[in-house]
Structure 1
């Protein structure tokens, strides 16, 4: 997800750097050089006018206009400097907002249905899990830790240029068991309440829908009764020795500093069951708000 936007931060940073250097150079150096040239040209112009007057040469009333035009011509910024100076504050503001406060994302797949639908435009809180340096994503200020039930955006462990979004079901130290499509966390079986079946309008398929209470966080999930309970062909991911797989599901112990993620569309989601845990350094932020869906305006609002 979001491969292009994964590089957009770097593109934005480079643009901000280039336009910022040009703005700085113009403000403190180039503008002074233009002013000096303008002053020299005006002094020469004034001397010429004085000589004409001394020789009795009369000038018409355009002297002031000519002088003003001469000054404006020498003080005028080149187009590349003018545009850079105009774009720099805008680019800098956007870069700071999306790096430290909120970043927009678009949902490209159905792995988080019914919570998030394809085409949802969401906002992600970038500071709730700590302040991180842009581009390198290094945490410099600790704030909060991800909690079970959070919907989190993170760098895909197998390709750091790609952003994924899933739900946190296991935090460091948790023992996660997923058996016959039911979760158990640290020996506590998660409660499920049956809801009306969910219709996938794109594929005209019904799925079982449940209200899952993930240690206090209630949200909807989908299961496909036709899908097997076991996890087919999981990767040999880092710390895979902390997981065991069988015909009924799997069990994993979450290592320190890492998180176990699952999609709400449980049987249509490639998540930690397949490619492993998410390290803290991969975290992008907490998803919390749908700000637009061009196909359904009613989607706008917060979610759990």
Structure 2
């Protein structure tokens, strides 16, 4: 028995730790689509910490409210009970102006009329960028208790709370904590 523990003990301990972390705490996910560009890109690999709540500006994985079989990656914008408004590309929450620095790259391209070039991979996206008057359409919502309002960073093409509604606590699958692929873009969130 001592020989078995000596030879296999460390391996079994590491394996058990990995299994416990994977089952109860961590989930690997892949980004599919362009709704979080340029923060997260199609095909990138992420590690999420399993949770059912989130803070403002956390990037989370969630079940889409209109199709619970789909998993999406979005950014939390408004918390339960808050009133969120977008007017002329300016976000306010409960009447307070809120900065969104993660939008700067695409918003700058949009205002310069150059975002359509960035969308060269998709003619439909190019058309949307060419015909839009704002990077984020104007809206006003009051978020119900125990729900969240989420948006993709690539506002022109993102399917998010503006379309599928508010996100219940129970639909939140995890908070993105680490981009591990591609290696040259590795980042802790």
Query: TM-score normalised to the size of structure 2?
Result: 0.74
- Paired with 1:192 and 1:276, the residues of 2 have a C-alpha distance of 21
CA shift digits 1:46-103 (9 cap, x unpaired)? xxxxxxxxxxxxxxxxxxxxxxxxxxxxxxxxxxxxxxxxxxxx6x876643331111
Higher helix content, 1 or 2: 1
In structure 2, what is the equivalent of residue 167 of structure 1?
Answer: 75
CA shift digits 1:138-176 (9 cap, x unpaired)? xxxxxxx41110001111112222111100001101100
Kindly report the root-mean-square deviation, in angstroms, between the aligned alpha carbons of the 2 structures: 3.0
Q: Is the 8 A contact 1:170 1:261 kept in 2?
A: yes
In structure 2, what is the equivalent of residue 191 of structure 1?
Answer: 99
Unaligned residue ranges in structure 2 (runs of 5+): 1-14, 110-114
Q: 2:39 aligns with which of 115, 134, 139?
A: 115
Q: Is the 8 A contact 1:230 1:250 kept in 2?
A: no
Cα distance, 1:122–1:192 mapped onto 2, change above 3 Å:
closer
CA shift digits 1:1-47 (9 cap, x unpaired)? xxxxxxxxxxxxxxxxxxxxxxxxxxxxxxxxxxxxxxxxxxxxxxx
Cα distance, 1:230–1:151 mapped onto 2, change above 3 Å:
closer
Q: Is the 8 A contact 1:107 1:117 kept in 2?
A: yes
Shift in Å, 1:273? 0.4
Q: Is the 8 A contact 2:135 2:156 kept in 1?
A: no
In structure 2, what is the equivalent of residue 302 of structure 1?
Answer: 188
Larger radius of gyration: 1
Number of residue pairs the alignment of both structures matches: 163
Cα distance, 1:161–1:94 mapped onto 2, change above 3 Å:
farther
Runs of 4+ in 1 over 6 A off after TM superposition: none
In structure 2, what is the equivalent of residue 200 of structure 1?
Answer: 118
The structure showing larger relative contact order (alpha-carbon pairs under 8 Å, at least 6 residues apart) is: 2
Q: Is the 8 A contact 1:171 1:260 kept in 2?
A: yes
Counterpart secondary structure, 1:268: coil
Query: TM-score normalised to the size of structure 1?
Result: 0.47
